Amino acid sequence: MDTGRKTGAAKIIIRLVILLMLALILLFVIKDYNESNAGDLPSWLSSLVGDDKETATKISFAPDANNTFLVYQDGLAVLSSTELVLYDVSGDESLSQSTGYTRPAARSAGEFLLTYDIGGKSICYIRNKAVKTNMKLNYAILTADIGKDGWFLVTSEEFGSKATVTVYNPEMTQVYKWPSSERYITCAAIADDHSGMAFGGLSQKDARIQSSVVMLHLDSAEPYSVIEFDDELILDMDYLPDGSLAVLTESCILTVDPSGRERGRYEFDNSLFREYSFNGDGFILLRLNKNGVGETSEVLVLNYDAGLEHSVSLDNIYSISCSGKYAGVLTSDHIIVYNSSLEEQFSSSISAGSKKLLMREDGSAIVLSSSEASIYR
């Protein structure tokens, strides 16, 4: 009789029984964690069961119909009618400042944050999460913008012009003023190195609406470039990291190089424009509804020549955002984070009531409801 073989077979059976018992214990632990505290599931256990990304941080704030949200120094800025609250990367409150705005708005760039009251006269200038000054202007504010070097512009309603653009340096000194006698101003932007500024102008010509992209250097009162559109509104504009200007109209996205020459244009054609973001590093993010109907949207990645690079179609999109090399899409039940080639990096289910998405440069996503922000990494 071969006792060696019997002994070997017995050892194999014992090992199989032990492995089975361990598997049962593991399944019990996973079930227990999922039912009691799934958000605290250990990372090694999550990788075994293929769990989605979980929220690492939650931030609560007072609900306000006028709440405005933006990423500031990789944290979150929440601006309401009554106060501005800044949260750091960990979700801890770093600044609370009363406002008293009727229509709050804000712009951020690098270490700078500018808040203002549309139709009001108040501006708050913040650097490195500290309030440097609160300004009270003499005229109602239409729009404002700030560059990464701290220079900022304010468009206001002043007597004697349809609108006036005023530029200030970080010391709050007025350095440039341009009254627009021919055009109303719908939006404006300042270059990150304050080498120039641009605005979207609106006028009437031969009983037709005419919009213009007007670009100026801060040492001259004469525009160095004017690009015109007939029967179309200019909705927004911003300077891109390479110094080009990106312009959103009702029917296209246009990019203009620093010399004022058009680089490219992406026409929406029969698609319905839904959402956009100019905050990507090397790309522009756009969301369209094909044929203007249905629940399916197309998310597009454009290069700085406004050429199409990548696209993906998804249902029930609530919000899109991009920052750095990452793009994010919020649907009715999921958050999906992509790289700039629209290759999926991670996805996660979300809480009910989530309506808005903000991406951070490190690829983490801030999902917002009316009273809470959840950060997914």
Question: Which residues make beta-bridge pairs with 112?
Answer: 109, 127
Residue-wise pLDDT for 163-206, tens only, equals: 999 999 999 999 999 999 999 999 999 999 999 999 999 998 88
pLDDT of residue 127: 97
Q: What is the pLDDT of residue 292?
A: 63
CA distances from 348 to 190, 213, 345 (A): 37, 40, 11
Specify the range with the lowest mean pLDDT, choosing from 18-27, 253-262, 294-303, 355-364.
18-27
CA–CA distance, 364 with 117 (Å, rounded to integer): 30
The pLDDT value given to residue 187: 97
Pick the range with the lowest mean pLDDT from 73-87, 291-305, 315-329.
291-305
Q: What is the average pLDDT score of the chain?
A: 87
Least trusted range by pLDDT, from 127-136, 202-211, 241-250: 202-211
Rounded average pLDDT over 70-98: 94
* b/e burial code for range 35-66 (CB count within 10 A of at least 16 → b): eeeeeebeeeebeeeebebbbebebebeebee
Dihedral of CA atoms 335, 340, 345, 351 in degrees, nearest 10, equals -10
Cβ distance 179 to 160 under 8 Å? yes
- Looking at residue 55, what is its pLDDT? 60
pLDDT surpassing 80 at residue 35? no
Please give the helix or strand (H or E) that residue 98 lies within, else none.
strand 93-98
221 pLDDT more than 50? yes
Q: Are 304 and 240 in contact (CB under 8 A)?
A: yes
Q: Is the pLDDT score of 291 beyond 90? A: no
SS3 346: strand
DSSP code per residue over 153-203:
EEEE--TTSSEEEEEE-TT--EEEEEEESS-EEEEEEE-TTSS-EEEEEEE
* Lowest mean pLDDT segment, chosen from 48-52, 108-112, 344-348: 48-52
Confidence of residue 154 (pLDDT cuts 50, 70, 90): very high
Question: Residue 52's pLDDT is what?
Answer: 52
| DSSP single-letter state for residue 232 | -
C-alpha 5: how far from chain center = 68
Question: Which residue in the block uniquely carries the two structure tokens 């100019």?
Answer: 278
Contact between residue 320 and residue 275 where contact means Cβ atoms under 8 Å apart: yes
Query: CB–CB of 107/95 below 8 Å?
Result: no
Query: In this predicted structure, what is the pLDDT of residue 44?
Result: 35
Q: Which of 58-62, 264-268, 311-315, 322-326 has the lowest mean pLDDT?
A: 58-62
> Please, which pLDDT band fits residue 34 given cuts at 50, 70 and 90?
very low
Q: In terms of Cα–Cα distance, which of 352, 354, 346 is closest to 376?
A: 346
* Position with higher pLDDT, 7 vs 375: 375
Give the pLDDT band of residue 33 (cuts 50, 70, 90): very low
Assign 17 a pLDDT band (cuts: 50, 70, 90).
Answer: very low
Q: Is the model's pLDDT at 13 over the cut of 70?
A: no
Kindly indicate the confidence band of residue 49, based on its pLDDT and cuts at 50, 70 and 90. very low
